[in-house]
Amino acid sequence: MSASREQFSSRTGFIMAAAGSAIGLGNIWGFPTQTASNGGAAFVVVYFILAFLLAYPALMAELIIGRHARANVVTALRGISTGTKSRALATTVGCYGVLIASLILSFYAIVAGWMVTYLLEPIALLAERPDAASWLTGFSFERNLLSMGIFMGMTMAIIASGIQGGIEKWSTRLMPMLLAIMVCLIAYVMTQDGAMEGLKVYLVPDFSQLSPSLVLDAMGQAFFSLSLGVGTMLIYGSYLSNKESLPKLGAMVTLVDSGIAFFAGLLIIPAIFVAQQNGVTVFTEDGQMIAGPDLIFQVLPSLFDSMGDIGLPVALAFFSLMTIAAVTSSISMLEVPVSFIAEETKINRKATTVLVGAVIFGISTTILLNFDQLFGFVIDLTTVYSQPILGVMLCIFAGWIWHRSNLLQEIQSGHPEIVGTLFWKIWPTYVRYFCPILILATFIQSVVN
Ligand code: TRP
């Protein structure tokens, strides 16, 4: 690849960007609600096991292929394939990954747009514009379109500025802010009545809740949270210097991502019990904890309302947290189609970003116009069905199609002492047999049920 291809400027830059991609609505919203609806701490334990046993090895496959090929997902997979058939497969899988990454962004931008409106609502209230505030939290097509558009605009602006000037710069600025806001919010929630009850539900495992569907939910959650399957981590790996040790950086990203998900649970689950203490309805009629969108857009706003004067700044902090988490993830999704088209056509990055952004904006608008038919469908198509299959395919490329000696050479690059370590002995075989079989088995079970 050309010498002028951009790279992250440092190890920290890469970690911030990759952790920024991984840490998103999936961590702060998905993980706690999955935990709540799967019986608390037992889910947390299973999630951590799967994150390191299945998601981490799959993450490594993407990072290693990406850094070796130094190219977008399609070119990278073609580059490690030697036969005509495997090259055709590479093109198919790569293009499918690009499509799924774009579709994930098309629904993610809608949800993230809602976070932006809830962030603007307290500001409208402070400006004494209750009419604007209620428009912002209503569910009109115009409001959804506008908020999705604002969010897409922010994502496009960052991607148009490139790797160091866009992705790295904004991830490095925003991720520490995210952590700081989160710590403050946890500290505040913990002082409230009811928090300890929530903490108990979250931290004391009830293993009688273990079931195949819990394991499946945990795997899906881990794959979504680590941004796997669609070439996101592959393209970030392609911007990483050869001097860095991939297994270490990958482990760090997995750890930070799971750690933040765990922290988010410390915030959200106690907050639900504080809300209950304050008289907010938090359980449905059949005794289930309210999860999904209602948790974020009803339970928590009611909680903020019940807090008195401090409610407004707390709401502001919470929805800033959500928006930050979403932006550093959405840029990593947009980078997948943008890098592919820019590298294939030689159209410059800015023009490509506008082009791809406009197409995804169009898809999101179509989803908004047919919300009931398309919204859930696109989420299931991408995250439930496509991500695991693509994850399996990437493991097959790393384990079967790629020449073993090249693979081993890439693992050693930047980390010669790795030879003889546990990772060196286990991972190449693991990614060849265990990963695809385990992912596939879990997946088939979900489709059958
Ligand atoms: N991991 C992010 C989250 O937890 C979302 C995300 C970013 C993603 N890039 C992705 C999900 C690629 C799937 C594929 O919110």
In a domain, 30, yes or no: yes
Q: Which domain holds residue 231?
A: 11-381
Whose Cα sits closest to atom 8 in ligand 1? 227
Q: What are the pLDDT digits (tens) for 134-190?
A: 999 999 999 999 999 999 999 999 999 999 999 999 999 999 999 999 999 999 999
Q: What are the pLDDT digits (tens) for 286-316?
A: 877 887 788 889 889 999 989 888 999 999 9
CA of 230 to the centre of ligand 1 (A): 9
The C-alpha atoms of residue 170 and residue 179 are separated, in whole angstroms, by 14
Residues 330, 123 contacting (CB under 8 angstroms): no
In a domain, 125, yes or no: yes
Can you give the pLDDT at residue 376? 94
Does ligand 1 come within 6 angstroms of the Cβ of 21?
A: yes
Atom of ligand 1 nearest to the CA of 383: 13
Whose Cα sits closest to atom 6 in ligand 1? 227
CA of 329 to the centre of ligand 1 (A): 6
In a domain, 261, yes or no: yes
CA distance readout (Å), 305 to 121, 178, 298, 308: 12, 23, 10, 6
CB atoms within 10 A of CB 19: 22
Whose Cα sits closest to atom 11 in ligand 1? 227
Does ligand 1 come within 6 angstroms of the Cβ of 25?
A: yes
Helices 11-22 and 169-190 cross at an angle (nearest 10°) of 60
CA of 131 to the centre of ligand 1 (A): 34
In total, how many domains does the chain have? 1
The C-alpha atoms of residue 253 and residue 38 are separated, in whole angstroms, by 25
CA of 17 to the centre of ligand 1 (A): 12
pTM for the whole structure: 0.95
The C-alpha atoms of residue 179 and residue 174 are separated, in whole angstroms, by 9
In a domain, 124, yes or no: yes
Q: Nearest 5°: phi and psi at 282?
A: -120, -10
Does ligand 1 come within 6 angstroms of the Cβ of 224?
A: yes
Q: Which amino acid is at 49?
A: I
In a domain, 226, yes or no: yes
CA of 417 to the centre of ligand 1 (A): 32
Share of the chain above pLDDT 90, in %: 81
CA of 326 to the centre of ligand 1 (A): 9
CA of 101 to the centre of ligand 1 (A): 9
Does ligand 1 come within 6 angstroms of the Cβ of 24?
A: yes
Residues 116, 150 contacting (CB under 8 angstroms): yes
Give the CATH number for residue 47.
1.10.4160.10
Q: What are the pLDDT digits (tens) for 70-85?
A: 999 999 999 999 999 9
In a domain, 224, yes or no: yes
CA of 224 to the centre of ligand 1 (A): 5
In a domain, 233, yes or no: yes
Average pLDDT of the segment spanning 326-355: 97
Atom of ligand 1 nearest to the CA of 22: 1
Does ligand 1 come within 6 angstroms of the Cβ of 329?
A: yes
Dihedral sign for Cα 68, 72, 73, 76, please.
Answer: negative
What is the Cβ-side half-sphere exposure of residue 165, based on CA atoms within 13 angstroms? 8
How confident is the prediction for the chain on average, in pLDDT?
93
Atom of ligand 1 nearest to the CA of 223: 13
Average pLDDT of the segment spanning 32-39: 85
In a domain, 43, yes or no: yes
CB atoms within 10 A of CB 295: 21
Q: Tell me which of 160-174, 229-243, 406-420 is least confident.
A: 406-420
Dihedral sign for Cα 374, 379, 382, 384, please.
Answer: negative
Q: Which amino acid is at 52?
A: F
Atom of ligand 1 nearest to the CA of 336: 12
Q: Residue 213's beta-bridge partner residues?
A: none
Can you give the pLDDT at residue 75? 97
